[in-house]
A and B are shown apart, each in its own frame.
Chain A
């Protein structure tokens, strides 16, 4: 048993690397299921990260901090909604702009806080269970947000596939014209989906600044928002697979770090590429199955809805 103990910290780092991706991708999945493509995930994550960080510095309350991050993400997403849903701007261009805006805004907000330390989000210790060797610390010794991410995967799955509201949301993403002619408020539903996506991205960002590396640095998301976007396609818009994909990506990220540390005779740049390379390969493989995409991909994604006759 003790021979595998070195694996415990590896697993722990995989979990912390994967959790922000789970949040961001899950939120964006709901957004996309309603037929909206918001490429501003990276920007929303950054603004969430800095908002959460500042809130902790000011209040010391992590619960409030996560709430502030969610609110900040949702406000960013609301901005996106006004532009694309009400003013019917192009979603791709607006999403890119939102990312650039988020990078700048978060840097401005966090200017005075760079390098200031905060305590990492505390790990829960469930008496007895966390002390079980090997699986104890992995399964029962995580911080609250990790458990929350798992709960959200289940909640989103249940919502999308078991509730009438989820059915309506998917319907709006599949054919906004049909949904409109049956009488569903397409724009209002999309606003809610977009703002949910923003809130989740904000929480994903906050996980980075409060738990993963408890500090604020400019651009600290380092492209995770884009990975989250790719994961959704990789997961063919299924919440369960988003979880698998996030952990696979997190796993490879951590493994290549360990490989670099172990002095593997491969250029470190190649190893750093691995997570991205693996994501691309899996994406290509998945995209080959057309009927699978047909079944789960929202047909109206990125299309502007004109509520005409």
Chain B
């Protein structure tokens, strides 16, 4: 943290430039990180942050520019050599192998040979000491997003890095988990480890980081001390214009009940899935209903029960505008006005190898009337895709590019836009703004609020409590497959939600007792 002239930076970049066909992703970027410094890298989606960190980690090679490591000029041709000199990275799109166990995944991310049994012990030790619980023998595809991220973090920590690059590490953590991770990061910083921290959560950056470098459109904009800025001023530096908080009108829940879930119990069919246990809630027209919870507590199962990917044995378990839909599959539910945005945007929310037009067609063909006596109406499909791209500011070279070519935040905007434009009566969204920059997040929030005001009922499943508090009218917490009693926003504090997330089951009686206190 000592920024005096004499000290040698752990990492210094000078004039890093990287061009892709048609766009200059990094344009002569300078960056300096001192030993033990927590340095934030700020910028909108597409500002060039990911490209820059990939260059540091050796995944990409810069066209121009120099890298200095502890004062010496180095080249980092591949990730192996990055790890060798002491650079670790936690990826935003996880670099995990779904069909393999936690231990195997970690072994793959470490250079050199290692003994699996010893590695298993090390994993348990590190994950305990840093508060990142992991079961070494679980298969990755059975884990939630939050758990997958822990694997990435533990994988880095096992290699005693001198520089840790973290690409949006807290986006899937609960406040308690995030606080715990900040402790971890501060501890590492005290131990002399430099941290390059990418996040969209500006409060977090203010609380944690010593320095911040701001990028916009691939260019270096400025370096500042985030503790001396406000979240608003940081955000405005990032996007280069003024920012508006979502307008929220207090809405009495007077509308009719649109979505009703009663006594929904489903036994998980996946090996490590979570059983849903007697879930009850209702969402009224005009209401945004938030579901908080730690990853892997039944969110995935609840979403697939609501979307119809898992059907219920009891048709009356889920009611949409008075109609029992428990036994219907996803398409009939869509026809009745239900829309959903799953947690995993690449592979579940979209088909990665298909074009944006095709992805738009797949979910919208029925409600947007894109079929022409059984054939795809290419004209109106393209118009629909263009409307999504235009209205939701999806940055893409064109609608005939594949979903996988979009950055995470842009794809999220596309998927949310695709569902919202279908004018659903009820929409269920998991992590609506995960990995989306501040400007786009505000826009998505405003869209959801507008949709609710137009009469839709909205269910938001998220781990980001700030987000839930910003847009929901009522909040419930899911823990171990049970849903707590829903509370109005003004009746519950972040701390109480944190306690509920920990798995203290709240039955109706307990809720009363808690209220009485």
Enumerate chain A interface residues (CB-CB to B < 8 A).
164, 167-168, 170-171, 174-175, 177-184, 291, 294-299, 309
Contact = CB atoms under 8 A, between A and B. Distances in A.
A295 B95 contact: no
Interface residues of B, number: 29
B108 A171 contact: yes
A181 B96 contact: no
Interface stretch (B54-62, B252-260, B470-478): B54-62
Given A183-B58, A309-B60, A291 B79 contact: no
26 contacts: A164-B107, A164-B113, A164-B114, A167-B108, A171-B97, A171-B100, A174-B97, A175-B95, A175-B96, A175-B98, A178-B94, A178-B95, A179-B97, A181-B59, A181-B91, A182-B79, A183-B79, A184-B108, A291-B271, A295-B99, A295-B139, A297-B99, A299-B99, A309-B51, A309-B54, A309-B60
Interface string B102-144: 0010011100011000000000000000000000000101000
A171 B91 CA distance: 17
Contact of B141 (A184, A294, A309): A294
A299 B79 contact: no
A218 to B, nearest CB: 40
Contacts of B59: 180-181, 183, 309
Contacts of A291: 270-271
B75 interface: no
Given A309-B51, A309-B54, A182 B100 contact: no
B79 A174 contact: no
B331 interface: no
Contact of B95 (A164, A182, A309): A182
A168 B100 CA distance: 11
B97 A296 contact: no
Interface string B44-80: 0000000100100011100000000000000000111
Contacts of B91: 181
A168 B141 CA distance: 18
A171 B108 CA distance: 8
Nearest to B97: A174
A175 B97 contact: yes
The 10 A-B residue pairs with the shortest CB-CB distance, nearest first, are A183-B79, A178-B95, A174-B97, A181-B95, A183-B80, A183-B78, A171-B97, A174-B99, A171-B108, A175-B97
A177 B107 CA distance: 17
A271 B11 CA distance: 72
Nearest to B155: A182
B103 to A, nearest CB: 10
Given A175-B96, A183-B79, A309-B54, A167 B270 contact: no
Contacts of B97: 170-171, 174-175, 178-179
A94 to B, nearest CB: 18
A55 to B, nearest CB: 39
Given A167-B107, A171-B100, 9 more contacts: A167-B100, A171-B104, A174-B97, A177-B95, A182-B95, A182-B109, A183-B78, A291-B271, A309-B59
B319 to A, nearest CB: 30
B79 A181 contact: yes
Interface in B73-91: 78-80, 82-83, 91
Nearest to A306: B404
Contacts of B100: 167, 170-171, 174
B56 to A, nearest CB: 13
Contacts of B107: 164, 167
A126 to B, nearest CB: 37
